[in-house]
Amino acid sequence: MNTFELNLKYVKDEVGKALSTSPLVIRTYTKHLLKSEGKYIRAASVLAAAQRADGSIHPDAIKFAASIEILHLATLVHDDVMDNADVRRGVPTLHKEYGRKTAVICGDYLLALAINTANQVESREAYINYQLPNYMEEIALGELSQHLNNGNYRLKMDDYLKIIEGKTAKLFEASFYAGAVTSQEDKEVFDTYKRIGYHVGMIFQMLDDCIDFEETIKIALKPVQSDFEQGVITLPLIHAFDQNPDYIEIAEKGDLSRKEVNQIVKQAEGVHYTKQEAQRYYEIAHKDIMSLDIENEKREELLSILDLAAKK
Amino acid sequence: MNTFELNLKYVKDEVGKALSTSPLVIRTYTKHLLKSEGKYIRAASVLAAAQRADGSIHPDAIKFAASIEILHLATLVHDDVMDNADVRRGVPTLHKEYGRKTAVICGDYLLALAINTANQVESREAYINYQLPNYMEEIALGELSQHLNNGNYRLKMDDYLKIIEGKTAKLFEASFYAGAVTSQEDKEVFDTYKRIGYHVGMIFQMLDDCIDFEETIKIALKPVQSDFEQGVITLPLIHAFDQNPDYIEIAEKGDLSRKEVNQIVKQAEGVHYTKQEAQRYYEIAHKDIMSLDIENEKREELLSILDLAAKK
């Protein structure tokens, strides 16, 4: 286990510690979720950005990473309530197993726990501008906007980008920001870290939206072919509609089958188009990472997270 | 308008300001809620506890009061999702009007907004021990415990008290605590303020639970005769079951009608018993208020909030 992996283990321990005092029903569910969560990409983002010149990280970075993973868990729990989802990462959802009420409350509890974990850092005054609740607000707004645009087949790419910014990219921005504030680097580069996080998050979500067009759950390791069914319109389909506006009205009449959706997306190369867009974000993030005055080891880690998000 | 009423108006303005930047769907709903909210008893609690020897309050008390009212709104929104409630204070619920998804997200947004509003105080370092997210956690645990005990006709009085402590009393404790930390009073009396708030909240909820046994919505100004139907077992009924344990098994078989519930509660004087218990809490809070070394005007205000909670 290298230092990075060791630190990631510390984050998992910290999340476990925070959850250990929570009621059984919450622990049971989150234990499942955490087990199947292989990547911990948000925590890894905090740790990479937190790295100091001597390769060490401040213990506060562990707290911040744990708090962000807990916040992410909270949003998953509430997402499942909203989507009426039965399965998440191969495990029955809390919503499915314990009912809507429990899931709403557990999500609320995890939101509070996330903020309380972030508040446990040693020197809160030092990080006064990094505020997790601000990001919580952004995430809710992103989710709201996605929901209000549910079934809106005329959604434009700009609106799509705004939605995924809120629901995904902002928490990645928070991750890189949280790491950076504990890193002893100059305040002047914080914005660069935030921007890297933002782009990493945008890439992550765009490619996630491509996965929904994969053919089977087996390949994707998560439910596929479900966004359109749930009224969630993503970039591959937006691009296809752009190319074939006639289909918009057909969709609005409820006459567009999933099979036809797949056909027009394939024809318009919607997935390819989305990956190209993601590549543009990749290049911006790459350039930002290269611009930082940091040790090679840190740069490698930041790049590997970028690659992880880009599924390269 | 006296100073107290003026300050309460400032709190309402502050809540309005915080909500003014929120999406239309949230504003529409909360505007209704806020209009019909006559008492603002939690905000009034903050203001009363915040009063300084010269009768003034620090502007931070306004922020804290607003943040607590917003947190309270958030819990109402999520409560409605969980209860599938159609009407709250005579207004259709957000849940009913805009659907479950919107309500879950709006609640999350309001939770974040509450914390962000509290974070806007001038001197956060001065209030480091007062942490709204801690209370958010307690509230969620209270709600969870209530839900896990749904339909538990063997609920004991102690468990009932623990539940209402989390779901109601803790936010009143927070209100008195938040006021006190801005008041220039000695740290030594903070615990007294917290205890007063706790007892005020317990009284408030116990008497609220009595209202559910009122005969008509018109008298109660809120849905009545609904707790039992929703599986929420409150003190009047717990006392009745204590007196007539035979009815527990009948209830467990699903054979206890609402009419019979009302009959056994009436026979056992469950409402009277509950009011007596509340009176015990009243006396403790009263004694605590009298013990404080404060100006008469402040004492009067604290007492009037106690009376308001006790519906005297």
pLDDT in tens, B103-140: 899 999 999 999 999 999 998 888 988 999 999 999 99
- Sorted by sequence, the CB contacts under 8 Å of residue B32 that are 6+ apart come out as B91
CA A191, CA A175: separation in Å to the nearest integer? 12
The band of B203, judged by pLDDT with boundaries at 50, 70 and 90, is very high
pLDDT at A26: 85
Check CB contact under 8 Å for A23 and B141.
Answer: yes
CA A111, CA B104: separation in Å to the nearest integer? 13
The ipTM is 0.90
CATH code of B9's domain: 1.10.600.10
Domain count, chain B: 1
| Tokens 């390949």, residue located | A219
Mean pLDDT, chain A, whole residue set: 91
Query: Residue A44 sits in which domain range?
Result: 3-309
Q: How far is A79 from chain B (nearest CA, A)?
A: 9
Contact call for residues A29 and A109 (beta carbons, < 8 A): no
Chain A touched by B188 (CB under 8 Å): no
Contact call for residues B233 and B256 (beta carbons, < 8 A): no
Q: Which residues are paired to A88 by β-bridges?
A: A91
C-alpha neighbours within 13 Å on the C-beta side of residue A83: 22
Residues of A with Cβ-Cβ distance to B137 under 8 angstroms: 109, 112-113, 116
Check CB contact under 8 Å for A78 and B105.
Answer: yes
Question: Taking the model in full, what pTM does it have?
Answer: 0.92
Listed residue (A3, A138, A136) closest to A62, CA to CA = A3
User: How many Cβ atoms from other residues are within 10 Å of residue B12's Cβ?
Assistant: 18
Partner residue opposite B119 with nearest CB, options A101, A133, A139: A133
Contact call for residues B59 and B122 (beta carbons, < 8 A): yes
pLDDT at B98: 75
Mean pLDDT, chain B, whole residue set: 91
DSSP letter for each residue of B7-68: HHHHHHHHHHHHHHTS-HHHHHHHHHHHHH----HHHHHHHHHH--TTS---HHHHHHHHHH
pLDDT at A37: 58
Instruction: Name the closest residue on chain B to residue A114, using Cα atoms.
Output: B133
Question: Is A87 in a helix, a strand, or coil?
Answer: strand
DSSP letter for each residue of A112-148: HHHHHHHTTSS-GGGGTT--HHHHHHHHHHHHHHHHH
pLDDT in tens, A100-112: 888 899 999 999 9
DSSP state of A71: H
Low-confidence residues of chain A, pLDDT below 70?
35-38, 84-96, 216-223
Partner residue opposite A133 with nearest CB, options B101, B116, B143: B116
pLDDT in tens, B8-44: 999 999 999 999 988 888 888 777 777 665 679 999 9
Question: Is B268 a residue whose pLDDT tops 70?
Answer: yes
Listed residue (A94, A71, A88, A72) closest to A23, CA to CA = A94
